[in-house]
Amino acid sequence: MEPCTKILKFLRLSNLPHYTTIPKKFFERLSDTQIRYLNDFILMDHPKKSELIALDGTGHTNDYADKYYAQIRAKKRKGYTKNHIAIDVDTRMILHYGVSRGPKHDTQFALAAIRQTKKYQPHYFLADRAYDSEEIRKCINEETLAFEQIPLKTRAKNGHYRLNSSTIFRPKIYSRRMNVESVIFVIKQIFSGINFSRNDKLRNKETKLKDVLYNFYRHVQIF
């Protein structure tokens, strides 16, 4: 954050707090709307057009107890928070995010992400097989006038856009979807794939804040 004087002014900070400071009360009082506004502020320098937008989702573990402790509690599966992101493939900035308590299917996020990012006038939306549905393909083709690059889960037997998807699928373009996986990797490596908050509301907020902090990090690198 130190090189970003605009962001410091936006947060009304005259001095950057030391990294060892843990502002627990500030975090609890920080609203989801403020986090969203902060992300929008960072994206002000982003180009108004994005040729390729990629979608993906991942889980952030909520329970950080070790396996032995989990066995004692007879808890085989740890809870997690689902983090969905839509990125600009070229800049690898997060253009839209959605967070919910897992498990949630990726398609529930996809429609909102597509509609929120169509203002960037993309030519293609890239996503893996988890997003293969007629509803998602229809939304991309009819509402954004873009093309989907989504592999079929199985051989399509119905659905206009699913049946015609093979004619517009371009493996070379689809291969660039790996950039969204790189973004997810960076978020987990730098900001941790574990949430330490103790309730769902704060866990969701913690995950959203990681997405925004990633955009801080990326913004400093490219702008």
Name which of 81, 78, 79 is nearest 59 in CA terms: 81
pLDDT average, residue stretch 159-174: 94
Mean pLDDT score of the chain: 86
At 62 the pLDDT is 80
Give, for 52, the enclosing helix (H) or strand (E).
strand 52-61
CA 46 to CA 31: how far, in whole Å? 24
At 180 the pLDDT is 97
At 176 the pLDDT is 97
- Which amino acid does the sequence have at 31? S
Beta-bridged to residue 83, according to DSSP, are 58, 99
Is there a contact between 100 and 64 (Cβ–Cβ < 8 Å)? no
Residue 55 pLDDT exceeds 90: yes
C-alpha distances in Å from residue 116, one per residue of 12, 103, 144, 219: 28, 23, 10, 20
Q: Which domain holds residue 119?
A: 5-222
DSSP summary character for residue 194: B
Please give the tally of structural domains in the chain.
1
pLDDT average, residue stretch 107-115: 91
Structure confidence by residue, pLDDT tens digits, 119-157: 999 999 999 999 999 999 999 999 999 999 999 988 878
Structure confidence by residue, pLDDT tens digits, 5-40: 766 776 676 776 665 555 666 777 788 988 998 899
At 27 the pLDDT is 77
More confident residue, 98 or 71: 98
DSSP summary character for residue 17: P
Q: Residue 52: pLDDT band by 50, 70, 90 thresholds?
A: very high
Is there a contact between 208 and 38 (Cβ–Cβ < 8 Å)? no
Please confirm whether the linkage preceding 171 is cis (ω < 30° from 0).
no
CATH number, residue 151: 3.30.420.10
What phi and psi, each to the nearest 5 degrees, are found at residue 58? -150, 165
